[in-house]
Structure 1
């Protein structure tokens, strides 16, 4: 763990605009439970898009889901490493379809 300074440019509920030292542009922080909810929505959208028969929609929804899940993993890893419990219940991965 490192200690760094950041300027909070704005804060609204569970979201803040933060300027990290050494970065040209500010970033957005969002509470982990709020981000987990957004990732779950993206997962639902991707599942529905896969059923629509629109390849472009399916690709875009899948990419959105994958990117959000990747960011969520970046959040969850250090929490686990530092013994900090998740502020949400991690959903189980979907069961594989074993029908032949």
Structure 2
């Protein structure tokens, strides 16, 4: 394990916007349980598609997309608050 100093751009929470050296742009630190939930939702979409349950796949994908949109909005707000251009 290596200890490094990181810049924290948001409160910790389940997903923090941080910049690690020597990266130019911050990233998002997602807690393991939150990452597991995202993975489960993607697996649910795949399973629904395999079972030709397009309505179920669409519903789960919509929830997943909304969660990712929230995460991206938090990231974007953190960049704007610190006058950092978006990397995309």
Q: CA deviation at 1:51?
A: 3.1
TM-score (norm 2): 0.54
Find out whether 1:40 has 2:49 as its counterpart. Answer: no
Q: 1:10-21 residue pairs with structure 2 within 5 A?
A: 10-11=10-11, 13-21=13-21
Gaps of 5+ in 1: 55-60, 62-100
Gaps of 5+ in 2: 55-60, 62-88
| Distance of 1:53 and 1:43 partners within structure 2 | 13
Find out whether 1:51 has 2:45 as its counterpart. Answer: no
The number of equivalent residue pairs is 56
Q: CA deviation at 1:49?
A: 1.9
- 4+ runs of 1 displaced by more than 2 Å? 50-54
| CA-atom RMSD in angstroms | 2.4
TM-score (norm 1): 0.48
